[in-house]
Chains A and B, each alone.
Chain A
Amino acid sequence: QLQLQESGPGLVKPSETLSLTCTVSGGAISSSSSYWGWIRQPPGKGLEWIGHIYYSGSTYYNPSLKSRLIISVDTSKNQFSLNLSSVTAADTAVYFCTMATEYYSDYWGQGNLVTVSS
């Protein structure tokens, strides 16, 4: 059974870079023609699609975040990562990593709360 697990700091200072890693178990990132992505949810609010990376390395980003965002994959570690630069309080959210077999997210990590505060 495929499992995803986010890891990373729970607190990031304003203007710094938010970095999260998603570790995949129960299957190999490189062997699956799937999209590996990130979705976030500010406390008490709805879901926002951040972006995803195809197993081949092609990326698709939300234009609202594109200038600050990098999603990458490390097949040797069976991980993919999110880097969001120049964060503000508006980036405070639970960040979920997901796998999308055909664009919809059928597997989710448990979520990682990241608070942006000095």
Chain B
Amino acid sequence: DIQMTQSPSTLSASVGDRVTITCRASQSVSSWLAWYQQKPGKAPKLLIYKASSLQSGVPSRFSGSGSGTEFTLTISSLQPDDFASYYCQQYNSYPFTFGPGTKVDIK
């Protein structure tokens, strides 16, 4: 299985901050990587697919980059609605695997 790691595990930030979350894969997943946002008690929401493609309806302050084994999710200006947990997922090979998550909380 491809192992996914994320850093940091928790991130404290303020509204307006630029936030970057890193996701690493144990082997190359090409660009087959997605990012999800999850709020407590809710289902995850797709933000980014194919490493850098913005899902329809997702604000443009979210962006993704990377390929191979290292990826980043960037929020250009953190908004109150963005305090949540974020997960990366590789879908290059079965079984699809998720990173352990990054919780973004209020500083």
**Residues of A participating in the B interface, judged by any CB pair closer than 8 Å:** 46-49, 51, 60-64, 96, 100, 102-106, 108-111
In the docked arrangement, what's the CA distance between A35 and B99, Å? 21
Jot down 16 A-B pairs with beta carbons below 8 A, ordered by A. Answer: A46-B99, A46-B100, A47-B44, A47-B89, A47-B101, A48-B98, A49-B97, A51-B95, A61-B95, A62-B94, A62-B95, A63-B95, A102-B49, A104-B34, A105-B44, A108-B45
Contact status B91-A103, CB under 8 Å? yes
Q: Give 1 or 0 for each of B55-89: 1 = CB within 8 Å of chain A CB.
A: 10000000000000000000000000000000101
Contact status A46-B87, CB under 8 Å? yes
A23 to chain B, nearest CB (A): 15
Closest chain B residue to A103 by CB distance?
B91
Other-chain contact of B96, A49, A102, A106 (Cβ < 8 Å): A49
Contact status B101-A64, CB under 8 Å? no
Give chain B residues whose Cβ lies under 8 Å from the Cβ of A96. Answer: 43-44
In the docked arrangement, what's the CA distance between A96 and B98, Å? 14
Give chain A residues whose Cβ lies under 8 Å from the Cβ of B96. Answer: 49, 103
Contact status A111-B98, CB under 8 Å? no
